[in-house]
Amino acid sequence: MRAKEYRAVAREKLSGHWGEAVLTAFVAALLGGIAVDTTVLSADIDINELMENAEKFGVNFSLEQITETMNIPPIILTILGIITTIASIWGIATSILGGPTRAGYCQYNIDLQKGESKISNLFIHYDIFVKAFLTDILMTIFIVLQFLLLIVPGIIATFAYQMTFYILAEHPDMDPIDAIKASRKMMKGHKWQLFCLQLSFIGWAILSAFTMGIGGLFLTPYSEAATAAFYKEISKEETPATPIPEFVDVAD
């Protein structure tokens, strides 16, 4: 199947379920099950460290002087401090909840292909919380290690591991390492196909940017549904429930 065919399947499965799919994707994003950029929100700026560094260059100032110069009311600084603290706590929480939520979101999209989707599926794999959490951690470590070698191997590894949580969702008894191995094996010869599928949403992503991100509420469930259709198609060629005895080179 080609990218446009997977997108067609996604639209068919989402018909009559858009509201549910958007809400599920939104909750999944809040819980870290969908990758979001929280760099700015979770930034932890040490004001004292900034002032110490400034003093090394002969610049002396205090937080009180900054506040007085910019006429910033103390209440505003307090509110900003509270927001930063909440964002930091949220960042930690999503790091912990991300794996189990991702497994549940994959389960939701797998069931969407069967016409059996429901929002509660987002939490269905919290019963394997530790396993899903470890899977997320291991995937991150493996991808980072690949990127430390070279950019291209890192990108290849990213695509090689993308079916891991779909496999774990359908086979929750699998160990994290076995799920990762199964994804690498399943994606052998399919990485370019998945790349083309994801690239085909670039126009929608650009359009979403012009709607201040609102379009992303619909783009995410659309692309995820297409990815689930892709998974169901290529999984017919594999038996991921059977542990794979050795790693498959992601460059294959």
For residue 31, give every residue at least 6 positions away whose Cβ sits within 8 Å of its Cβ, in sequence order, or none. 93, 94, 97, 98, 101, 122
For residues 214 and 119, the model is more confident at: 119
Q: Are 14 and 21 in contact (CB under 8 A)?
A: yes
What is the model's pLDDT at position 48?
55
**Segment 126-159, tens digit of pLDDT:** 999 999 999 999 999 998 888 887 888 888 889 9
Residue listed under structure tokens 């979101």: 105
Residue listed under structure tokens 């939701």: 108
DSSP, collapsed to helix, strand or coil, labels residue 42 as coil
DSSP, collapsed to helix, strand or coil, labels residue 125 as helix
Q: In terms of Cα–Cα distance, which of 112, 96, 87 is closest to 24?
A: 112
Q: Does pLDDT of 225 surpass 90? A: yes
What is the model's pLDDT at position 92?
87
Mean pLDDT of 211-230: 89
**Segment 125-134, tens digit of pLDDT:** 999 999 999 9
State what percent of residues in the chain have pLDDT above 70: 77
Q: Are 186 and 236 in contact (CB under 8 A)?
A: no
CA distance linking residue 93 with residue 6, whole number of Å: 33
Tokens of 106: 């994959």
**Residue 105, Cβ neighbours under 10 Å: how many?**
29
DSSP, collapsed to helix, strand or coil, labels residue 116 as coil
What is the model's pLDDT at position 126?
93
Q: Are 42 and 90 in contact (CB under 8 A)?
A: yes
CA distance linking residue 203 with residue 7, whole number of Å: 13
Spans of all domains in the chain: 3-34+99-235
Tokens of 54: 């400034």
Q: Give the pLDDT band of residue 11 (cuts 50, 70, 90).
A: very high
**Segment 74-127, tens digit of pLDDT:** 777 678 778 888 888 878 888 899 899 999 999 999 999 998 889 999 999 999
What is the model's pLDDT at position 123?
93
**Segment 51-75, tens digit of pLDDT:** 555 555 555 555 555 555 556 667 7
State what percent of residues in the chain have pLDDT above 90: 50
DSSP secondary structure string for all residues of 71-109: T--HHHHHHHHHHHHHHHHHHHHHHHHHHHHHHHHHHHH
- Torsional sign, CA 81, 88, 151, 29: negative
Q: Give the pLDDT band of residue 35 (cuts 50, 70, 90).
A: low
What is the model's pLDDT at position 238?
58
Mean pLDDT of 17-21: 93
> pTM for this structure?
0.75
